[in-house]
Amino acid sequence: MPQDRNEPPFFYGWIIAGAASLVMIVCFGVQYSFGIFFKSFIGEFGWTRAATSGIFSLYMIMRAAFSIVMGYFSDRGGPRWIVAMGGFSMGLGLLLMSRADAIWQLYILLGGMGGLGAASFYVPLASTLSNWFKKKRGLVLGIFTAGVGMGAVIFSPLVEFLISTYNWRTSYLILGMITWGIIIGSAFLLRQTPEEMGLQPNGLKTKSDLQQELSGEEKNEKGISLRRAILSATFWLILTIEVINYMSTITPMVHIVAYATDCGMSPMIGASQLAVIGGFSILGRVVAGAISDRVGAKNLLPITLIAEAVMLFFLTQSKNVTMFYIFSIIFGIAYGGSVPLVPVITAEYFGLGSLGAIFGAISFVGVLGGALGPFMAGYIYDVTARYSIAFLTVGILSIIATLLSLYLRRLKPYPTFAISSNT
């Protein structure tokens, strides 16, 4: 097909997508490396697993609490300064972690400052990419969220190497410098909308070009407000699914290294499980994002959720390296596949006008599930000296989320219940 005369040779939206992916790589590489530091904290300070897990839980709560705020300000002022300030907060917290010698300091530095930084990334960037890409939104969000998996692939062996070569304090010092350099640098490449650069989504130069390209698919893109969305059953259904999905995916990511070493494996083998989950989650994110553009995100979500449930049950019986790798591969694909589907579903049901605030609200409560899951697993381990009950619990919850996602397919997008497009 000949190139449209109005289409530039290169669309700046791909720069936005690349910068956003770099931010995700660093943010989630740091986030999931907590499981690798887990036993270092316990070994040096003698804390319980519940108390140590609480550091990560506070991180998730802070990330949740400020997601709505960051989404709100991103909708109005753009993502550039939001992401830059988040990168500064996270990086400073990591640098100061190298000097921490009490548990309350780790709660403040990693849980508080790190969580505040993380809240500044995912929702503003997902909302920004939804503004830049319409026709290929699912694919682009899949590539964007693949940065989460790539973070685990890169940072898991890196952090284990740093800890074994130096110590956990020096490792956090290095992570802080990496965070500052990459996240703050990437932030200044961001633009909220293509209109700021005289472009339209998908690289087309005029609104008429865009409408012709999408064959009328852009009607009702203005969307509805967060207030109106909250009044719908659809909002609460998506929110509940997100809460359970966070619990089901974050819990093994935090505890799998400790679980593997409890089963007699080396710390490097345990860390490699995070890398395998992250690596195969990239495949899941990209493939699910592309497939969702064809079959619909709401039709694909139940498949990813039931696969997560099955593998969590499998994990309770996993005792050797082979079984752990089988879990990590299949769970990684399923977990990764579920991630880009929720923002796509949210945009489909509620439009783009307040997507940052609406998806921020969903992520806020969802991340609380991610905070509760690891703490619950740590507490169960302290009481029972094993993880199987914790993994079984989140597996059952995943089945419930699967049933809810099947019901979600029957509901209609927002124009059928909105009062008006300006609501």
Query: How many CB atoms are located within 10 Å of the residue 45 CB?
Result: 14
Residue 220's pLDDT is 45
The class level of CATH for 13-193+220-414 reads: mainly alpha
Q: Which residues of the chain have pLDDT under 50?
A: 1-5, 214-220, 416-423
Nearest CA-CA partner of 333 in 285, 394, 296:
285
Residue 204's pLDDT is 55
The identity of residue 278, as a single letter, is G
State the distance between the two ends of the chain, measured CA to CA, in whole angstroms.
41
Query: For the segment 83-96, what is each residue's pLDDT rounded down to a tens digit?
Result: 999 999 999 999 99
Residue 294's pLDDT is 83
Q: Domain locations in the chain?
A: 13-193+220-414
Residue 419's pLDDT is 37
Residue 201's pLDDT is 75
Report residue 284 as tokens.
Answer: 């899941």
Residue 67's pLDDT is 76
Residue 329's pLDDT is 96
Residue 135 exposure: Cα atoms within 13 Å on the Cβ side: 14
Please state, for a pLDDT cut of 90, what percent of the chain lies above it: 45
Taking a C-beta distance cutoff of 8 angstroms, is the pair 312, 423 a contact? no
What is the pTM assigned to this prediction? 0.74
